[in-house]
């Protein structure tokens, strides 16, 4: 099975996830941004700090999605496998990058400063 881009996203399932959870992860992203900003000395440069923000948000999204799906689909079998296969194809990092970019645009302060 070949993944093709969809509406500017990696694939249709990534697009769907983003549409259905529109702005759901904004608060978490903003909190993580502040946490990383406060600990900016832990990072070599701004690129590393931004990448850490995106990885944290992507990980949180994936964990949330899998936990949410597990609660709703506990029967196993074909449907469960199809759903699991689909959510494993979500590009959480791509979505997290959009959230991170938006949070940094809204912020008054840079994510990383060299002291």
pLDDT for 83: 85
Question: What is the rounded average pLDDT for all residues in the chain?
Answer: 89
| 97: in domain | yes
Show the domain range for 94. 25-106
Mean pLDDT value across residues 42-63 = 95
| 114: in domain | no
Of 88 and 76, more confident: 88
For the chain, percent of residues with pLDDT exceeding 70? 93
Q: Is 76 left (phi over 0), alpha (psi -120 to 50) or beta?
A: left
What are the residues facing 6 on neighbouring strands?
A: 9
Mean pLDDT value across residues 41-50 = 93
pTM score, two decimals? 0.86
Q: 86: how many CB neighbours lie within 10 A of its CB?
A: 15
38: pLDDT strictly greater than 70: yes
| 16: in domain | no
| 38: in domain | yes
Of 71 and 44, more confident: 44
Query: 36 near 103, Cβ under 8 Å?
Result: no
């Amino acid at each position: 099975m070949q993944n093709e881009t969809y509406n500017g996203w990696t694939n249709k399932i990534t697009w769907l996830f983003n549409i259905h959870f529109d702005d759901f992860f904004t608060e978490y992203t903003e909190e993580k941004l502040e946490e990383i900003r406060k600990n900016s000395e832990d990072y070599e440069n701004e690129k590393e700090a931004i990448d850490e923000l995106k990885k944290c948000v992507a990980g949180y999204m994936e964990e949330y999605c899998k936990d949410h799906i597990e609660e709703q689909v506990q029967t196993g079998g074909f449907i469960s496998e199809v759903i699991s296969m689909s959510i494993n194809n979500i590009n959480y990092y791509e979505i997290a990058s959009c959230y991170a970019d938006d949070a940094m645009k809204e912020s008054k302060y840079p994510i990383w400063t060299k002291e």
